[in-house]
Structure 1
Amino acid sequence: MIPEGVKTPLVIVISGPGGAGKGTIARKLCEKDPTITVSRSWTTRAPRTDDKNDSYFFVNDYEFNEHKDNGGFIEWNEFLGFMYGTPMPDQDDEKDLILEIDVSGGRQICQKLPQAILVFIDVEDSELRRRLAGRGDKQSEIDKRLLEAERERKEAKELNYQIVINDDLTKATKEIYEIICRARL
């Protein structure tokens, strides 16, 4: 039971196509405000060259499924043949928590935490294609990601995500920070 007058930490779901800038914006928000932290997801995919050391827990299928079967994830999903899961939040953490997950994961979070804030970061397809190629994605994967981006955009609208266009990193970060600040009131 939370004492009266004590605010519970926010859960902020940040979704968007691969290459939209979710991770970069999440890091910028944490740098700007030390009361915000990012959940570190688990994945069965191999690390990419642009992954930071703390971007994911990279695990094999067995480890992932064991954690999932033991109730260790608040949400999990398969994407492009790999598993991704968000660990259960630490009940003792007082920081607002960013979950950098796909829209299907956002749907799962909404069902469990209806007060969660949903933000969808988007960019034009031509810019998305350029960013994905720039990080070394193969053309076939880029094509799959662009198709998935269109599906996610539709689902984000259905779930009433707040849409932020990331055509300017500083502006997009500021817009999302303002969304968080309004939710804290």
Structure 2
Amino acid sequence: MKNQSRINLLKEVKTAVNTASFSPTEGRIKEAKALVSDLMSYVESLEAPKAKSSKKKRKQRKGKATPSTKVADRQEKAFHGRPDTPVTPRKVKHTASVEEARKSAQEVSDKSGATARAKRRTEAVSKALTKEAVASPADVTPPSASEARMADLEAKIEALLALQAMGHVDLTSRNENEVLFSDLPFDPTSTL
């Protein structure tokens, strides 16, 4: 019933305000004001909603493990010796041992073959140094022009590859038809 009276009151206010605004007369304006004041008194008579007390947050209950979680825990335990359980922090913190870290790093290097490669490399360098020291300057022949050019090109290629590896040079940005003046065996500016 309250809802119906509110709807009727709103309809009456709407029609009274519309008639007063489209064809205003003294009586219509008074009637609209009276209906608007009735609506205001209705709104003021409404009670404010009571503040609801916040419910206490409930902790989630630990449920029984489902068959699928049991299977997963069994598989984890078979894989690495213990099931996945909540991790509890240790009371005594771990301290790093430099000696243990050095030993484990050495083991990794041994198993990956890095130490053997480094050993072979140092032996090769030492052999090359001893060969250079033994060789006399008379034995060394000057490289021919083509050998010197090839060595220069190889050095340039290695430098470009090193720059590309560091990300400084993008070799794909050059057009295939472009030729740099420095790549030519002659100076093209001198013939102009």
TM-score normalised by the chain length of structure 2: 0.19
Structure with the largest fraction of helix: 2
Question: Which is higher, the Rg of structure 1 or of structure 2?
Answer: 2
